[in-house]
Amino acid sequence: MPSIQACLFDLDGVIVDTARFHYIAWRKVANDLGFDLSLGQNELLKGISRMESLDIILSIGGVVLSEEEKIRRATEKNAHYLELCQQMTPDDTLPGVRVFLDELKAKDIKIGLGSASKNARIILVRIDMLKYFETIVDGNRITRGKPDPQVFLMGAEDLLTAPEHCVVFEDAVAGIESAKSAGMFAVGIGHKSILTEADIVVAGFDEFRVADLLVAFGE
């Protein structure tokens, strides 16, 4: 049986909750274009790239923009989002995450980040968690967004680990699809009714430990 040699984590909704900041920033874009963005509609943006998110928002509002204008709106959104992220502190790390990562370190299991965000490194610095990650594969490196497996395959390659020895932690359907397409064990963070393709689903890390992961993986 394969053993766990590396764990790859999404950022938003897994390590830290920046969803509220994304929503505020994207809602402002929608409002500036003359329509609103609901929390339910915002769920459609989870785990995908900035420009893909903008395309979804434009389709919701029935708005057509030139490529130049789309880039301008996306850039403005990111600037607003980063302003909001300046409020972040280590206290914004989701419950149990640091303990879980410390346990992985103690077992010599490699740790990487796989996120569509282009701001991943900035956020990890803000919450004082950069030191945990041996590689960061983010929106600045990938050319294909989730559900394409590229982000996690690059992470595995960076960590010199075969996919079957990797575990991915994701809160988005697209991320789970990405992990499974990469041939990796997928842990969903959230609800079983949504993350139906995950190998296991847990509510979060506050009551989930590495020992539980090893049992689920079959070790």
Residues with catalytic function: 10, 12
Question: Which tokens go with 66?
Answer: 């030139």
Coil, helix or strand at residue 206: coil
- Dihedral sign, Cα of residue 55, residue 57, residue 63, residue 69: negative
Map tokens 């993986």 to a residue: 217
Cα angle at 150 between 84 and 214, to 5 degrees?
A: 85
Q: What residues form DSSP beta bridges with 188?
A: 170, 201
Write the single-letter amino acid at 10: D
End-to-end CA distance of the chain: 8
